[in-house]
Structure 1
C-alpha cells in the first residue's frame, strides 16, 4: 500500500459495492468468502454484482487470528474436521482439502474415524479457501489487504469512512466488524518489569513459547480451560519433568467430546424460558432423558443450536446472571477438548504430573531468585505465597471489549452500544449494529465473538460461518444491496 497519509482510498464504478472488513481472522475471512459466493450470478451474466473488499488486518496472514496462528502441531481443533467446513451444505469440504494436501497427521484421527487436525493446518484451509474464492471471482472482485488497525469510523449517510492508524482513510458502502476475541486480561496487577520478564509467558501461542521452559522447572499455569490443555500437552510431549500447577477460581476443566448431534430441537413446542432457573431445569431434564443412551453432550448441543431463540427470550437481568454465575460452566461443556488432548491431560492429572487447584491469583513478584513469588488466594479469602520458576497465562479472552480503541470510539460517539449482558456489541437479528438510542446504524454490521451477547453464543468457527452464510443468502439482509 502506497496511499499517502490522509488520502481517501476510494474510486469505484457505479455497479461496485465497497465493503470494508475490519479484522482478518477466521470471521473476516468467512465473511469475504460468503459475500463473494452470495453475490454470484449465473455464469456469464454481465450484471453480476461487483465487490471491492478493503480488509484491515495488521497481521500478514489472513484467516488465522489467534485461534489458528499457533504452529505447534499438538494444538488441535477441538471438533472433527467434518464439522468445521466453511460451507453448511458441504460438510466434508474441510476434510477433503486437508486430505488433498496431505495434512492428516497420524495422530489426528481418533478411534471413531474423526479427524482432529492441528489448528495450523485448519488455518491453512481457511486461508486457501479465501484465496481460491477471490481468484475464482476474477475481475468481478477487487481485494486489498491493509496491514494496519482501524481507529475510528465516521458514519455519513450511505458512505462511511474508516480511519486507519497509518493516517489513511478508506471509503466504504458497508462495514463489517470482524475483530474477533478481545486480548486476554491480566489476572492481577503486574508491574511492567515483571511483564517484560521472559520467564512470564503471556502468549502461549507465540512461536517457541514452551521451548524456553527448562524441563525441570516448576510451572504455574493460570487458567484451566482449553488453552491450559494445549499448554499441558506442549509441555508434556516435550518431556517436561517439573511440577505443573494449574489454577482457576472454579477449577473447571474442559470436558471431553462424546456423541455429536446437530439437532436444533431443544425447545420443541415449548416456549423459551424467561428465567435462568427455568432454563437450567429444562437442560437438566433433557440430560436426564438422554444420558443413559447418548450421554450429556447431545443435550448441550441441542441447546447450543437453539440458543439464539432461548437467549433473546431472557430479560437482560437474567442474561447478566448467566454471565456472572454460569458462563464458565457452560463454556467447559460447550467448548470440549479433542480426545487426543483429553487423554494426555487426564493421564497427567491422574499421575499427579499436573495438579489442578481452585485458587485465584492476587499478585506476582519477580524478586525471587530465578523465579516468581506468587500470592494465591482461596475462595475463603485465605492467601498463601509460593515460588514458581515459570508462569504461563491461559486465561482466555477478556470481556471488556471497550478496551479495543475502535469499539471505544464507536461507543463514545453513540454509534454503538453494549448488549444487554454487557459482553459485546448490540446487534439485531441481521447483525446490524444498534446505536446508543437503539436505532440501527445503516451499513454497519458486526460478526463473530463481539456479538456473543446478542445471540447467546457466537464463538465457535462453525457457528460463525453458519451465521454469516445464512445472513448473506437472506434477501432481507441489506449487506449486499447496492446503494442508490
Structure 2
C-alpha cells in the first residue's frame, strides 16, 4: 500500500476520535518527515497529525530533492540513520537491498564508509516513514496542501493555523520549513526558479552557475553528464569551493585545551589544531570533525558583534570545510577546473538581462555584463523573515529572529524562543534554527533534534496530552 493509501485508510478508521491531541507539522521536506517519524516512535498516546505543505507530494525539500536521482550526498552512510540509538540502521537497510548490494559488491558486508545518491537515501527515509505509520493504527495522519500564512496562540494555549481555505487548531505546532517559507513574490528554489536562457550571443555556449557550495558542484556535473560541452562559470562572492573528505573516515581529533574567547584567537587556534593533526599523520578533516563537537558552545559564547563578523568573513570558509565532497567527486572537480572548461570567479550577481547577467566583480566598483546563454541559481535559500507566517509569530510575541536574523531563535531541542522566553508547544526544527545552532542544517543534527523535541512532547513537558 502506498503512503497516500495508508493515510486514507487511517483517516477512515480513526474518524470521530476528536479527543486526541492534535499536532501540526508545517513542512514536508526532510525536517518535517523526520519529525513525523520521531513523533510516531516517541509519543505513545494516540494523536492526530496534520502535515501542511503546498507541494502536492512528500518531498525531500532542499536536503533530498534534486533533478537527478544520482546526485551524491556529502555524508557517509554511517551518519545518516533516522533511527534513534541505531546508528547502523541505514547501513542495514542497504545490506537488505539486494539490488544495491549487487551493484556495490566491494562494500559488502557493510556500507558505512561510502557515499550514496540522494535518491537512495530518500527511498530509505520514506520507507521508514511508511513503516512507522503502519505500526501506529491508533493515530490519524493527513496532508493539507494549503500553505499556512499565520499562526496565533489562543487563550486556551492552543494554536490557530490560518490557511487559504480557513483555519485549523492544534495543541502543538512544529515549524519544519527547511530553509524558509516561500513568499508569493519571492522565489527560493532552483526547481521553481526558471532557468534564464538568453539569446545565443556567445559561441561556444556559456553557462553561469551562481554559488560555490555542493549544489553548484552537483549542477555542474549534471550538465556535463547530460552532454553540455560549453564553458561554465561558477560565480560566488567568496569563491571557496567544497573541500574533500578523506577516502576513509577521519576520526574526530581536537585539542582538549580550553578554547580562546575571541573570534580572532579561535581562528588561530583552529588553524594550529589542523596543522598539528597533519604533523601527527592525521588530517585536517579529523580536526574539523572534532571542532564540530564544540562548535555549538563556541558559537553561543561569542558576542553578537563577533558572530556578525564570522558570518561576513569566515562562514564561507567554514562551510567549505564542513560540507565536504566525496574524494572522487572532489578529484573530478579539480580536473574540471584544471582543464579550463569551468572557471571559478568572485563577484556579486546583479540583474538578469537577455544577454546574460550583470556582475560586479570582486574589487571592482561598477557592474559589467557577463554574457551567457544560461544562468542557473544554485545558492541555498535562506529563510524569508518577512514571510507572513513568520511575521505573525513576531507580532504575537511567539517568536523572534536570532541575533543575526538568519532564522528563528531556538533552544537546542527546537523550542521557539519568543519575547517572554520559550513558547510552550511551538518548535522549529532543522535549518530554521541555524543562527542559534551551528550545523543544525545537517542530517545527523536534525535527526537528534527531532527525537529530543518528540521526547518533550511525549513527556508532556510542553503539552498536557489528553487521554484517548
Q: TM-score range by the shorter chain?
A: 0.7 to 0.9
Q: Residues 57, 22 of structure 1: CA spacing in aligned structure 2 closer, same or farther, 3 A cutoff?
A: same
Q: 1:375 deviation in Å?
A: 3.7
With normalisation by structure 1, the TM-score equals 0.82
Corresponding position of 2:49: 53
Give secondary structure in 2 for the equivalent of 1:482.
coil
Superposed, 1:81-480 pairs within 5 Å as 81-101=77-97, 102-103=99-100, 106=103, 114-139=113-138, 141-156=139-154, 157-167=156-166, 169-182=167-180, 204-205=190-191, 217-258=205-246, 260-261=249-250, 263=252, 266=254, 268=256, 270=258, 273-292=260-279, 293-366=281-354, 368=355, 372=356, 374-381=358-365, 383-398=367-382, 400-435=383-418, 437-473=419-455, 478-479=461-462
For residues 225-284 of structure 1, what are the alpha-carbon distances to aligned partners after superposition, in whole Å with 9 as ceiling and x for unaligned? 111100111111122211111111211101111254564x757462x5432123213312
Distance (Å, rounded) in 1 between the aligned partners of 2:373 and 2:105:
32
Corresponding position of 2:62: 66
Q: Residues 315, 144 of structure 1: CA spacing in aligned structure 2 closer, same or farther, 3 A cutoff?
A: same
Equivalenced residue count is 444
1:33 equivalent in alignment to 2:21: no
Distance (Å, rounded) in 2 between the aligned partners of 1:13 and 1:183:
29
Asked whether the 8 Å contact 2:408–2:432 carries over to 1, the reply is yes
Distance (Å, rounded) in 1 between the aligned partners of 2:92 and 2:350:
48
Give secondary structure in 2 for the equivalent of 1:402.
coil
Q: Residues 363, 109 of structure 1: CA spacing in aligned structure 2 closer, same or farther, 3 A cutoff?
A: farther
Q: Output the aligned Cα RMSD.
A: 3.4
1:78 equivalent in alignment to 2:74: yes
Q: Residues 222, 207 of structure 1: CA spacing in aligned structure 2 closer, same or farther, 3 A cutoff?
A: closer
For residues 162-184 of structure 1, what are the alpha-carbon distances to aligned partners after superposition, in whole Å with 9 as ceiling and x for unaligned? 111232x2211111111101379
Distance (Å, rounded) in 2 between the aligned partners of 1:342 and 1:421:
32
Asked whether the 8 Å contact 1:82–1:92 carries over to 2, the reply is yes
Corresponding position of 2:12: none
Q: 1:395 deviation in Å?
A: 1.9
Give secondary structure in 2 for the equivalent of 1:444.
strand
Give secondary structure in 2 for the equivalent of 1:144.
strand
Q: Which runs of 5+ in 1 are unaligned?
A: 2-9, 41-48, 186-190, 196-201
Q: Residues 67, 108 of structure 1: CA spacing in aligned structure 2 closer, same or farther, 3 A cutoff?
A: farther
Distance (Å, rounded) in 2 between the aligned partners of 1:249 and 1:207:
20
Q: 1:483 deviation in Å?
A: 5.7
Asked whether the 8 Å contact 1:25–1:180 carries over to 2, the reply is yes
Asked whether the 8 Å contact 2:90–2:124 carries over to 1, the reply is yes
Distance (Å, rounded) in 2 between the aligned partners of 1:290 and 1:245:
35
Distance (Å, rounded) in 2 between the aligned partners of 1:108 and 1:332:
31
Distance (Å, rounded) in 2 between the aligned partners of 1:172 and 1:229:
41
